[in-house]
Amino acid sequence: MRAVVVSAALLASTVAQAEYYSGNKLHTLCGLNEIGASELSIGYVVGVADAVITLENLGMTTRVKMFCIPEAVSQSQTRDVVCQYLSKNPHSRHYSAPSLAALALAQAWPCPKP
């Protein structure tokens, strides 16, 4: 249930806004075999994760943490999770990439219930 509420809130807030990266654009980046594409997509996903965590730590979001990535998880693993989510959910890729990345991370690594 929590995932549905988070999903709805994320997606509803991004439909009307223009974003630099849509899910389609990030999905394309995930599939590129060009030099630097993997690093760019890793940087993007890690940047989204860092931004969400920072906003949570500053109290600028809901009181419920969106995701809890274990310490042993590598940056490339977070990228893989997001890229796989985009591949499996083509119907959602028109939404903003940051929202979709956060949703993918939340589904992969939900926080324990308080």
pLDDT digits (tens, 9 = 90+) for 75-92: 999 999 999 999 999 999
**Helices 23-31, 75-88: inter-axial angle, 10-degree rounding:** 120
| pLDDT tens digit sequence for 16-66 | 455 589 999 999 999 999 999 999 999 999 999 999 999 988 988 777 789
Mean pLDDT of all residues in the chain? Answer: 86
Beta bridge partners, 22, equal: 96
Q: Residue 107 has which token pair?
A: 């589904």
Higher pLDDT, 72 or 6: 72
pLDDT at position 60: 86
Name all domains of the chain by residue range, CATH numbers in brackets: 2-108 (1.10.890)
Above 60 in pLDDT, residue 13? Answer: no
d(CA 78, CA 105): 7
12, HSE (Cβ side, Cα atoms, 13 Å): 6
Confidence band for 9, pLDDT divided at 50, 70 and 90: very low
Q: Residue 50 has which token pair?
A: 């860092």
